Amino acid sequence: MNRQRAGERPPLAAIFGCEGTELTAWERDFLRSHNPLGFILFARNAASPSQVRELVDSLRETVGRESAPVLIDQEGGRVQRLKPPQWRRLPPAEPFGWLWNDAPEKACRAAWLHGYTIAGELSGLGIDVNCLPCLDLRVPGAHDIIGDRSFGADPRQVAQLGQAVCDGLLAGAVIPVVKHIPGHGRALVDSHESLPRVETSLAELETSDFLPFQSLAGAPWAMTAHVVYTAVDEEEPATTSLRVVQDIIRGKIGFDGLLLSDDISMKALKGDFASRTEKALAAGCDVVLHCNGERAEMEAVAAVAGPLSEAAFQRLEKSLQARGGDGLPFEEALNELGGLLP
């Protein structure tokens, strides 16, 4: 459905975080005024299930859209925003890779259950997008920012387990976000702190790092890598590189879902926040992600982001239609998962 014909106010091509466990008066006014596409939550925003549910409802109320996406990074292991004891402890990706080495079918079933049970917890809170799975390869000698967040070094293994997690999340009515396209596994530095440069040839990237993303080119959402791939673009990281987005992500990989930048407040990116936003959108990202809740940065992003494009809106609508309920009882799925993991 064309949003203009529907009479809707086009959302801003941005997703924002907030500072705490409830919205401030300034945040309410800012979000109501600028109408971002959606929101993202972190550990600082989560004190209890009832509080998170109230915060999610408040966020959607500011923009007047019950369908406004609410995102989180609920991977497991080191990256788990909803933490014990209020929420269950989740495993990282690595154990699923260990299981795949001995029993691929069991590993894929476990990965599906992992996605499905996470979706069950998130759906109860009103969170409908999870930044999972990581399709980055485990590369010896690379920085451990990926590390055990990866399913392994074999592209086929990563693709199969990643697909299973995506399918599980969708069966639980949560949209997956594959990351970090076109591959963060070779980075020698943490992109939160500085800009990684990958010197690997294009031929090698095409037969390794790119393959899991190519296998999951039909995923509804993907998140970019703040990584320079010198074989494609000597200067710009994927997030702000027209060559990487158009030639590799949309071209060779064939991804046609909603493309979300990684957090533009990370130190890998240079320049002020207006220029970061403009460059990411000009390169072909559909939406920019800003996570830290800093007022001045958010204002700078909102001033230049502009409305979501019609093509991006269609990708968003398609992603919403991909969700469906499996009907497997949550406790049954949880017990089955516990019996499969090593």
Catalytic residues: 192, 262
The single-letter code of the amino acid at 55 is L
Token pair in block for residue 117? 């049970």
Cα separation, 269 vs 192, whole angstroms: 9
Token pair in block for residue 24? 């401030």
Cα separation, 3 vs 200, whole angstroms: 42
The single-letter code of the amino acid at 93 is A
Phi, psi angle pair for 15, to nearest 5°: -125, 130
Cα separation, 91 vs 117, whole angstroms: 12
What is the sign, positive or negative, of the torsion defined by CA atoms of 281, 20, 296, 306?
positive
Q: What share of the chain is helix, strand, coil (3-state, %, to 5)?
A: 45, 15, 40
Place of tokens 């809707």: 8
Token pair in block for residue 34? 């600028």
| Closest of 289, 274, 153 to residue 221, by C-alpha | 289
> Helix 25-34 and helix 49-63: axis angle, to 10°?
40
Question: Is residue 279 a contact partner of residue 271, using CB atoms and an 8 Å limit?
Answer: yes
What is the sign, positive or negative, of the torsion defined by CA atoms of 194, 195, 201, 207?
positive
Three-point CA angle 147, 287, 319, nearest 5°: 85
Token pair in block for residue 277? 């936003």
Cα separation, 111 vs 74, whole angstroms: 14
